[in-house]
């Protein structure tokens, strides 16, 4: 754990650079891939394999670096989400997004601990036991390796559906500035409309508050 924690700190500046150079989605793919490779490597290790200590340290280093990325990148993405929300609703709601992120993080951590506890109990693990059956040992491996790998694969899939990148965000912010200045929604360039639709999931004519989402009163004049 100490090795992973140290290299997690190393991973933060590394993935900051990767995000700036290759984008958040691609950087997250790297982090997820490192996690999967590390966990699969741990699963394949056996007590009799040569160089076991070095293999464990190598896996811990890779896992620690990857964890730095998986912790940092979602917060880096968060900075840009209120811009997408404003394009849809015409409102700035950074505080709501921060609150939801913190709440969901706590909820997910609590659920993970509960599921792990139930799973360990199912496989016969008891607190303080000096030895465990082969079935219990395999169950522990399944809980701490297979479970995270499945969740990591789901996250990896989500990276391919992430549409926001540097180019799209620049187009988005330029359009938001135009609308804030009193520009009309229908005057947007065709490519800008495509970008807004891909980011919000709504038809362009239903963005900037032209939908059932709550809209602030100071935007009403720009929505005519």
Based on the domain organization, do 62 and 151 belong to the same domain? Answer: yes
d(CA 121, CA 123): 5
Low-confidence ranges of the chain (pLDDT < 70): 213-224
Q: How many CB atoms lie within 10 A of CB 179?
A: 22
Based on the domain organization, do 105 and 202 belong to the same domain? Answer: yes
| Joined tokens for residue 131 | 């030895």
Based on the domain organization, do 117 and 189 belong to the same domain? Answer: yes
- Could you tell me the maximum CA-CA distance found in the chain, to the nearest angstrom? 73
User: Do 14 and 65 meet the contact criterion of CB atoms below 8 Å apart?
Assistant: yes
Based on the domain organization, do 24 and 72 belong to the same domain? Answer: yes
pLDDT tens-digit series, residues 47-93: 888 999 999 999 999 999 999 999 999 999 998 999 999 999 999 99
- pLDDT at residue 28 in the model: 96
pTM, full prediction = 0.83
Based on the domain organization, do 118 and 128 belong to the same domain? Answer: no
Q: How many domains does the chain have?
A: 2
Based on the domain organization, do 139 and 105 belong to the same domain? Answer: no
Based on the domain organization, do 109 and 128 belong to the same domain? Answer: no
- pLDDT at residue 214 in the model: 58
- Residue 67 makes CB contacts below 8 A (sequence gap 6+) with 4, 8, 11, 31, 35
User: Do 141 and 43 meet the contact criterion of CB atoms below 8 Å apart?
Assistant: yes
Query: What is the sign of the dihedral through the CA atoms of 84, 172, 183 and 181?
Result: positive
- pLDDT at residue 111 in the model: 93
Based on the domain organization, do 51 and 98 belong to the same domain? Answer: no
- pLDDT at residue 216 in the model: 52
Q: Which domain holds residue 103?
A: 79-122+163-224
Q: At what angle do helices 24-44 and 52-78 cross, to 10 degrees?
A: 150
pLDDT tens-digit series, residues 160-173: 999 999 999 999 99
User: Do 36 and 154 meet the contact criterion of CB atoms below 8 Å apart?
Assistant: no
């Amino acid at each position: 754990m100490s090795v992973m924690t140290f290299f997690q700190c190393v991973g933060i500046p590394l993935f900051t650079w990767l995000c700036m150079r290759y984008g958040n989605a691609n950087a997250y793919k790297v982090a997820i891939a490192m996690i999967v490779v590390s966990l699969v490597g741990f699963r394949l290790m056996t007590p009799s394999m040569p160089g076991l200590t070095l293999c464990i340290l190598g896996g811990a280093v890779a896992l620690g670096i990857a964890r730095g990325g998986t912790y940092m990148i979602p917060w880096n993405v968060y900075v840009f989400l209120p811009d997408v929300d404003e394009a849809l609703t015409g409102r700035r709601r950074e505080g709501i997004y921060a609150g939801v992120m913190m709440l969901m993080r706590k909820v997910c951590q609590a659920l993970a601990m509960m599921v792990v506890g139930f799973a360990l109990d199912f496989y016969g693990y008891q607190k303080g036991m000096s030895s465990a059956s082969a079935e219990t040992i395999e169950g522990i491996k399944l809980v701490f390796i297979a479970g995270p790998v499945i969740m990591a694969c789901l996250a990896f899939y989500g990276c391919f559906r992430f549409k926001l990148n540097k180019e799209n965000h620049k187009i988005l912010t330029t359009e938001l500035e135009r609308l804030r200045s009193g520009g009309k929604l229908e005057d947007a360039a065709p490519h800008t409309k495509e970008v807004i639709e891909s980011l919000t999931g709504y038809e362009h004519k239903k963005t900037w508050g032209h939908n059932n989402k709550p809209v602030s009163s100071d935007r009403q004049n720009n929505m005519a």
